[in-house]
Amino acid sequence: MVEHRPALNLLSHVVLILGVLIVAFPVYLTFVASTQSAQDIATARPVSLLPGSHMLETYKLALLGGNTSTGSLIPAAAPMLWVSLVSALIIAIGKIAISLLSAFAIVYFRFPLRGLVFWSIFITLMLPVEVRISPTYAVVSNLGMLNTYAGLTVPLIASATATFVFRQFFLTVPDELVEAARIDGAGPLRFFKDVLLPLSATSIAALFVIQFIYGWNQYLWPLLVTTSEDKYPIVMGIKRLIVGEAFVDWNVVMATALLAMLPPALVVVLMQKWFVKGLVDTEK
Amino acid sequence: MAAEKRVVFRSAWLPWVLVAPQLAIVAVFFFWPAAQALVQSLLQEDAFGTSTDFVGLENFERLFADESYLASFQTTAIFSVLVAGSGLSLALLLAVMADRVVRGAALYKTLLIWPYAVAPAVAAILWLFMFATPMGVVSYALRALGLEWNHLLDSRHAMALIVMAAVWKQISYNFLFFLAGLQAIPKSLIEAAAIDGARPWRRFWTIVFPLLSPTTFFLLVINVVYAFFDTFAIVDAATQGGPGKDTSILVYKVYYDGFKALDMGGSAAQSVVLMVVVVALTVIQFRFVERKVNY
Amino acid sequence: MNLKSLPRTLAVPAALLLALCAPAHAQTEVQWWHSMGGALGEWVNDLAKDFNASQKDYKIVPAFKGTYDESMAASIAAFRAGNAPHIVQVFEVGTATMMYSKGAIVPVAKVMADGGQKFDPKAYVPAVAGYYTAPNGQMLSFPFNSSTTVFHYNKDAFKAAGLNPDAPPKTWPEVALAAAKLKAAGHACPFTTSWVSWTQLESFSAWHNTEFATKGNGFNGLDTRLAVNTPLHLRHIENLANMATQKLFVYKGRGNAADATFVSGECAMMTGSSGLYGSVKRNAKFAAGISTLPYYPDVPGAPQNTVIGGASLWVMSGRKPAEYKGVAAFFAYLSRPEVAAQSHQRTGYLPVTLAAYELTEQAGFYAQNPGTDVAVTQMIRKTTDKSRGIRLGNFAQIRTVVDEEMEQVWSGKKSPKEALDAAIKRSNELLERFQKATKS
């Protein structure tokens, strides 16, 4: 900002506040609904915007499971949050690891069929998992990976987003660095470990955020591949609460939804700085 | 490939070792199932696969003879334009404002990026909760204002609902990218223009926006792909493609035919068509982005 | 130590060791995939728990697999991968798909016979079991959670509008009159419905002893086609369309979206599932009543019986004989009068066996909970060829087609005749496709 323009400053704040209100309103409503009782919501026309008094008991119910006053049994969300956490971490870390290696190979080596390898990896961006889900399930089943963390995570690692981002980034690294490493007598792996990786820190952070959220928010794939309830991730748990012909305990649904939003939101907020820096770096 | 490195390493075996993990996973968990999915588009079978018939291109013919399928191309186009257009403009506005303010910038940023963390399935539930009668706060407010909100029977309201739910999630993502892009613009350029007497409005359109164009274009394609592929959960929860078929976007039909109607052949055929569309979009992006970006 | 006595001295500790290491009894596990969430999920888990506790040979392991469509898709994917669960809960509209799958399922009658369980098809409520029975009398799937279409109404709203809360409308003309009075008293939503196709066309047809689809609603042949363009059906949709225009009938969405509007008091009258009873009793802040589905008094044969909704349990093929014995034992357990009666009273679903109905009546349940017997009395009747049930392929899609076309009527975009004709045309295409895919 160059000059002093108070009117424009005020306008900026107004716009931002409005934006925050609109964007954050659904989340606020989720919170408010989770503090009311299920009967209140069922008979509300519309739902009250003020927080109710049932917050502690609702969250305890959502997190640890138990019986509601209307007689339904709520399964505990805590184990499901754990499953989501482990899956998201495996997916994020796994994907970043193999993509770093592939992108490095593609950018820094010249080898026969390099173009083919490049495009075979990139074509995975063009057919999302929902579309090929049934045959993928057959493969996973044949490999005996049903209802395991491996089954939940490995097929989701098979897409090229991370490789793409790393490729873009590696292409921006000045050639002089490679030459300097060469002169120092370092081989490709030393260069990778000592020069490239540290430079890629922000991109890795950005991708970690994206992949963690991707893995955390999966619904359809875990639905197919899990056969016992101890492997259900949290998004499945939320849907389970609203499915069926019986009464829906909306307050517990909202509390669980909020609990499900917290870890990825935390990841985004905490890694914001690196995330933004990582995006800036890859675009340059 | 357009971009190349001048300086590379030489090794006969190392690159292969490096790409092996990804190639293995891609081969087993992408190519093999994808090939099977594509083969299914040429078959007509019962749900369990116990009686299978090779029918060639019949599934595709049936698709293109179905006027509701052709209509859904139009619905998808409208939906994508609305989602990408409003998602980008709103995010750009917020990013520009956030870039300007000094006080509270961190707070605004933190509050604006929450929706990105929300799963599409959950976002759909939240929006339905806000709009469904009788408990919906927003539909109540709209009716109090005199608008006869009825997304069950009014196609425009239904489209507005799914667009809002879809855009809400994307605003944070776009916002972050735009903010990053804005912060990458050298302040000296803007100051120079200010010294020359250009007012903020002019400065934005003549300097900032053109410099932001690679980001904008990148986000445009990402948003369109998002609108094409990742929104079926929203449609499923909010309108189920209704009223009639007026919010039945292409990917929702793929999901519906594969999972609810259990018509594997038809669903696979639609996936092939969708894949062709997305390949075209990706190729365009590669051409464009590679051209505009200087490494 | 004397070598000869070594075996004996080791025998006891060895036996103890074996007793500790070996499993108490090798239990055969039986996988059961279901779609019951919330309170109903607890019911399912309790059934499994009680059965497991009642004997030592088999262990039923229930797993929630999403909505009815999702769990069906999951079962199919599992079957194709050679890994199907033993028992799957499939909704009523999936019956034809399951039935016509060559070799993918094992009929329940066969499972019971092979498992050495006593099995008398006549013990089950005819209108319930009939839906899941082949034309030759062989029961294909086990009726588990069945509801039927009933008429819910808000007694307090009736009183406020000057209507007699204990005399609900029994015919459609009476419904229209009641709606008009409610509207005059200021009610914004006098009448609504959930599950449009089920309540207004399918059950409607059976209630009037009319065919919904040809060939005995699909029981007698794969070449069945929709038959809802008779004057009766047209008259009914036209009435509803008129009510919609006059804001007497307010459309509240597909599936069971409308249920919440009744429970909250927003809508005063609703045709919907009998299963809503539990929800209403627990949460409604008004006195609610249940009555029979309305009908047209000038139609001969009306009222006949209504059509069920809900789901049944199918047994998938490809598992071991010992495991099927476990399935049979479980089904026998579920059919025990006390168990079936308990399930009926707990959930509001129809009783599966006649004995369960009688037990419940004797216990005074219906007297203490007025309205809970309406659903049952609509079903405990001899069925006709036109009212036994509906068996159509691609039925889930057909229901969606009906939803879509009817929405055009409620919003005024199509006339009832156009919409019904379009629904029939599109549904018949689906039926043809099913016929072709199955015959091959």
Asked if residue C203 has pLDDT above 90, the reply is yes
User: Which of B26, B100, B109 has its CB closest to that of A158?
Assistant: B26
Domain B58-292 has what CATH class? mainly alpha
Residue A55 burial (C-beta neighbours within 10 Å; 0-12, 13-18, 19+): middle
Superfamily the domain C148-307+385-439 falls into: Periplasmic binding protein-like II (3.40.190.10)
Shortest distance, CA B179 to any CA of chain C (angstroms): 39
Q: Compute the Cα dihedral for B171, B176, B181, B182 and give only its sign.
A: positive
Query: Has residue C1 got a pLDDT over 60?
Result: no
Q: Tell me, what's the pLDDT at B89?
A: 93
The answer to whether residue A131 neighbours chain C at the CB level (below 8 Å) is no
Q: Do C80 and B49 touch (CB under 8 A)?
A: yes
- The confidence band for A284, taking pLDDT boundaries of 50, 70 and 90, is very low
User: What rounded mean pLDDT belongs to chain A?
Assistant: 82
Chain C's closest residue to B248, CA to CA, is C404
Instruction: Please indicate whether residue A244 or residue C353 has the higher confidence score (pLDDT).
Output: C353
Determine the residue of chain B that is closest to A159 in CA distance.
B26
Whether omega for the bond prior to residue C337 falls within 30 degrees of 0, making it cis, is: no
CB neighbourhood size of A254 (10 A): 27
CA-CA-CA-CA torsion sign (A87, A93, A99, A101): negative
Q: What is the pLDDT of residue C175?
A: 95
Q: Which chains touch A (3 or more CB pairs under 8 A)?
A: B, C
The better pLDDT of the pair B57, A55 is held by: B57
A121 and B23 within 8 Å at the Cβ level: the answer is: yes
Highest mean pLDDT among B102-106, C7-11, C89-93, C370-374: C89-93
| C28-146+309-379: CATH superfamily | Periplasmic binding protein-like II (3.40.190.10)
Q: Do C40 and A240 touch (CB under 8 A)?
A: no
How high is the ipTM of this complex?
A: 0.79
Mutation to test the C interface, candidates B40, B48, B75, most C Cβ within 10 Å: B48
Between C284 and C317, where is the model more confident? C317
Question: What confidence score (pLDDT) does residue A95 get?
Answer: 93
Mean pLDDT of A55-69: 79
Beta-bridge partner residues of C86:
none
Q: Which residues of C touch A (CB under 8 A)?
A: 31, 35-42, 45, 61, 63-67, 70, 73-74, 76-78, 80-83, 85, 147, 256, 260, 263-266, 273, 275-276, 278-279, 282-285, 347
The whole-number average pLDDT for the span A85-99 is 94
Write down the pLDDT at residue B43.
Answer: 85
Spatial contact of C405 and C419, defined as CB atoms under 8 Å apart: yes
At A278 the pLDDT is: 65
C38-75 per-position pLDDT tens digit: 678 888 999 999 999 999 999 999 998 888 888 888 89
List residues in chain B touching C: CB distance below 8 A. Answer: 44-53, 132-135, 152-154, 240-245, 256, 258-263
Enumerate the domain spans of chain C.
28-146+309-379, 148-307+385-439
Strands C267-273 and C28-34: unpaired
* Alpha carbon of A33: minimum distance to chain B alpha carbons (Å): 10
By mean pLDDT, which of A64-78, C108-122, C413-427 is the weakest? A64-78
Across the range A167-196, mean pLDDT stands at 83
Would you kindly state where each structural domain of chain B is located, as residue ranges? 14-56, 58-292
CB contacts of A178 in chain B (<8 Å) are: 5, 7, 9
Nearest Cα residue in chain C from A235: C66
Among candidates C405, C389, C401, which has minimal Cα distance to C428?
A: C401
- Using a CB-CB cut-off of 8 Å, the residues of chain C touching B238 are none
Contact state of A242 with C65 under an 8 Å Cβ cutoff: no
Chain C nearest C-alpha distance from A125 (Å): 24
Distance CA C91, CA A97 (A): 44
pLDDT bracket for residue A1 (50, 70, 90): very low
More confident site: C293 or B229: C293
The residue type of A246 is A
Residue in B101, B108, B120 nearest the CB of A217: B120
What 3-state DSSP class applies to C294? coil
* Whole-number pLDDT of residue C209: 92
| Closest CA of chain C from B31, distance in Å | 18
Give the gap in angstroms from C-alpha A138 to the nearest C-alpha of chain C.
Answer: 5
Q: Is residue C16 very low, low, confident or very high in pLDDT (cuts 50, 70, 90)?
A: very low
User: A78-283 belongs to which CATH class?
Assistant: mainly alpha
Task: Judge whether A44 is closer than 8 Å to chain C, CB to CB.
Answer: yes
A130–B14: do the CB atoms touch at under 8 Å? no
Greatest mean pLDDT among A65-79, B254-268, C337-351: C337-351
CB contact under 8 A, B15 and A29: no
Q: Note the pLDDT of residue B1.
A: 41
Searching chain B, which residue's CA lies closest to the CA of residue A31? B126
Using the Cβ of A179 and the Cβ atoms of chain B, whether some distance falls under 8 Å is answered with yes
> Mean pLDDT over residues A130-151, rounded?
83
CA-nearest residue of chain C to A226? C65
A 58-87 → B contacts, CB under 8 A: none
- The whole-number average pLDDT for the span A117-125 is 81
A8–B100 CB contact, under 8 Å = yes
Contact C63 A227 (CB under 8 A): yes
> Is A127 in contact with B125 (Cβ distance < 8 A)?
no
How crowded is residue C52: how many other Cβ atoms within 10 Å of its Cβ? 16
Outline where chain A has alpha helix (H).
Answer: 6-34, 38-42, 55-64, 78-108, 114-122, 133-142, 149-153, 161-172, 175-183, 188-191, 197-199, 201-216, 220-225, 234-242, 250-270, 272-283
Instruction: Return the percentage of chain C with pLDDT > 90, whole number.
Output: 50
Whether B295 sits inside 8 A of A219 (CB atoms) is: no
DSSP line for B170-233: HHHHHHHHHHHHHHTS-HHHHHHHHHTT--HHHHIIIIIHHHTHHHHHHHHHHHHHHHHHS-HH
The arithmetic mean of pLDDT across residues C173-201, rounded, is 93
* CA–CA gap between residue B190 and residue B174 (Å, rounded): 23
Instruction: With CB atoms and an 8 Å threshold, state whether C69 touches B260.
Output: yes
Q: Which of A105-114, B65-74, C273-282 is predicted least confidently?
A: C273-282
Asked if residues C391 and C218 have their Cβ atoms less than 8 Å apart, the reply is yes
Determine which helix (DSSP H) or strand (DSSP E) holds C48, and give its type and residue range: helix C38-54
* The predicted structure's pLDDT at residue A69: 66
CA-based nearest distance B150→chain C, Å: 9
Which DSSP string corresponds to C368-395?
A: HSTTHHHHHHHHSS---TTTS----TTH
pLDDT at A225 over 90: no
pLDDT score recorded for residue B285: 67
- Contact flag A154-B214 (C-beta cutoff 8 Å): no
Q: Considering CB atoms only, which of B104, B129, B184 is closest to A283?
A: B184
Name residues of chain B where pLDDT drops below 70. Answer: 1-7, 133-134, 282, 285-286, 288-295
Give yes or no for A88 touching B (CB within 8 A).
no
Evaluate if residue A88 carries a pLDDT over 50.
yes
